[in-house]
């Protein structure tokens, strides 16, 4: 007599579905790093409102954008470099060299159009030099860019010494001082346009996916058909070009060139990128996170300025912030691992 077993194994087809709350779009947004940054940004905005009655003045808010737009332009490109598993610490020195070359060209009678071309070419050349040493020769990017940090700024000091270049054309001033409409500066418009372009590049193109794949595992990416060296070379050139764009805006805003221009910016730019949620070890990160982090740092800097806080305090704050945003995810990860064990 045959007995039929009416029991069925608990297959995925007949198992009661478990609720996956993290699939909810709203919960995913709330749990994201970008949402936390938005909350922090709102908190800093409210604190600045309480700190000074002049904070909400439209022209003061417009001036506050200068505290982050130029650095954020470089941070967008830096984010891609760090996501790929590399880093570029020479960006501030590229600004100094680009500004020096433009100042020298002014003394030779160059007009505004020629200054822009020279600045972009010098920035691209500096980025290509870094890219050749890292992607072409396989040298560690942190060592290479520490070396070129000294090299590029050293050239600026040799050319300028204790002098300064000035006398830029009046039309050149628009890039760093011009307004597109009312309190909306040209730099702010450029910041928004570049944020959109880099968002598309990283999150909507095969080049962006290749960058993320390289940061996760360059060997696997190579065997997947990704030309790792070429992608890294392009990223360093792109960082050099964005440093040149920032140099054009900064030189235009200041109206002069000194070899000490943009000193210390590399620390603030890296902090901006890491605060935006980009993994310092590579493999993950978003452009919206970098945008929000740039705004946060801009508001903090502006708030300190309204309170007449010394610049050295801001430097201490940036250093502590960089250590915190790097160490905090590691501490959380280790704590979760210990709890699991």
Task: State yes or no: pLDDT of 21 exceeds 70.
Answer: no
Give the side-chain half-sphere CA count within 13 A for 129.
Answer: 17
Span 9-31, mean pLDDT?
A: 56
Quick one: pLDDT band at residue 54, thresholds 50, 70, 90? confident
Asked if 44 contacts 300 with a C-beta cutoff of 8 angstroms, the reply is yes
Task: Check whether 168 has a pLDDT greater than 60.
Answer: yes
Q: pLDDT tens-digit profile of 68-110? A: 999 999 999 999 999 999 999 999 999 999 999 999 999 998 9
Mean pLDDT of 281-287: 92
Residue 324 banded pLDDT, cuts 50, 70, 90: confident
pLDDT (tens digit per residue) in 233-269? 999 999 999 999 999 999 999 999 999 999 989 999 9
Domains and CATH numbers, the chain: 59-340 (1.10.3470.10)
pLDDT band at 305 (very low <50, low <70, confident <90, very high): confident
Predicted confidence (pLDDT) at residue 10 exceeds the cutoff of 60:
no
Element (H, E) at 180: strand 179-181
Global confidence as pTM: 0.89
> Hey, which of 76-90, 166-180, 309-323 has the most confident mean pLDDT?
76-90
Q: What is the pLDDT of residue 12?
A: 41
3-state secondary structure at position 110 = coil
Is pLDDT above 50 for 149? yes
The SS3 of residue 3 is: coil
Per-residue confidence band for 23, with pLDDT thresholds at 50, 70 and 90: low
The pLDDT of residue 14 is above 50: no
Mean of per-residue pLDDT scores for the chain: 88
**Read out DSSP for 190-222?**
HHHHHHHHHHHHHHSSHHHHHHHHHHH-HHHHH
Helix, strand, coil share (%) of the chain residues, nearest 5:
70, 0, 25
**What torsion, rounded to 10 degrees, do the Cα atoms 51, 56, 61, 64 define?**
0
pLDDT score of 9: 46
Model confidence at 60: pLDDT above 80: yes
Buried b / exposed e along 318-336 (16+ C-beta atoms within 10 A): beebbeebbeeeeeeeeee
Quick one: CA torsion of 315, 318, 319, 320, rounded to 10 degrees?
A: 120
User: Are 195 and 201 contacting, i.e. CB atoms less than 8 angstroms apart?
Assistant: no
> Whole-angstrom Cα distance, residue 291 to residue 278?
12
Question: What angle separates helix 91-107 from helix 112-131, to the nearest 10 degrees?
Answer: 150
Q: Which of 6-10, 97-101, 281-285, 303-307 has the lowest mean pLDDT?
A: 6-10
Asked whether the beta carbons of 265 and 71 are under 8 A apart, the reply is yes
| Alpha carbon of residue 249 to chain centroid | 16
Q: Work out the pLDDT band at 331, boundaries 50, 70, 90.
A: confident
Q: What proportion of the chain, given as a percentage, has pLDDT over 70? A: 93
Residue-level pLDDT at 218? 94
pLDDT of residue 104: 94
Answer yes or no: is pLDDT of 30 > 50.
Answer: yes
Angle at 199 between CA 193 and CA 200, to 5 degrees: 95
CB contact at 8 A, 244 and 119: yes
| Secondary structure class of 299 (helix, strand, coil) | helix
Contact 95, 265 (CB under 8 A): yes
Provide the percentage of residues in the chain whose pLDDT is more than 90: 62
Residue among 49, 95, 99, 43 at smallest CA distance from 73 = 95
CA proximity to 165, closest of 258, 86, 85, 273: 258
């Amino acid at each position: 007599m045959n007995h039929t077993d009416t029991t069925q194994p608990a297959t995925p087809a007949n198992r009661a579905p478990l609720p996956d709350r993290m699939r909810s779009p709203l919960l995913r947004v709330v749990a994201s790093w970008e949402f936390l940054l938005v909350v922090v940004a709102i908190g800093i905005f409210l604190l600045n409102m309480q700190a000074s009655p002049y904070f909400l003045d439209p022209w003061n808010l417009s001036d506050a954008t200068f505290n982050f737009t130029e650095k954020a332009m470089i941070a967008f490109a830096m984010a891609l470099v760090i996501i790929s598993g590399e880093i570029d610490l020479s960006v501030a020195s590229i600004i100094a060299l680009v500004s020096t070359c433009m100042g020298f060209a002014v003394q030779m009678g160059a007009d505004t159009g020629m200054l822009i071309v020279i600045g972009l070419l010098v920035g691209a050349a500096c980025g290509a030099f870094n890219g050749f040493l890292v992607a072409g020769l396989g040298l560690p990017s942190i060592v290479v860019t520490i070396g070129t940090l000294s090299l590029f700024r050293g050239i600026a000091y040799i050319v300028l010494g204790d002098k300064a270049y000035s006398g830029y054309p009046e039309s050149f001033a628009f890039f760093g001082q011009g307004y597109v409409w009312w309190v909306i500066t040209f730099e702010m418009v450029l910041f928004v346009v570049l944020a959109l372009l880099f968002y598309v590049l990283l999150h909507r193109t095969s080049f962006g996916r290749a960058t993320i794949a390289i940061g996760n595992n360059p060997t696997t990416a190579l065997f997947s058909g990704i030309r790792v060296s070429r992608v890294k070379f392009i990223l360093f050139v792109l960082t050099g070009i964005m440093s040149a764009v920032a140099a054009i805006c900064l030189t235009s805003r200041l109206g002069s060139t000194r070899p000490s221009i943009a000193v210390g910016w590399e620390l603030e730019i890296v902090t901006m990128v890491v605060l935006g949620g980009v993994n310092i070890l590579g493999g993950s990160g978003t452009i919206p996170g970098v945008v929000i982090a740039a705004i946060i740092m801009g508001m903090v800097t502006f708030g300190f300025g309204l309170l007449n806080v010394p610049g050295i305090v801001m430097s201490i704050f940036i250093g502590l912030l960089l250590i915190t945003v790097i160490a905090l995810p590691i501490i959380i990860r280790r704590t979760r691992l210990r709890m699991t064990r």
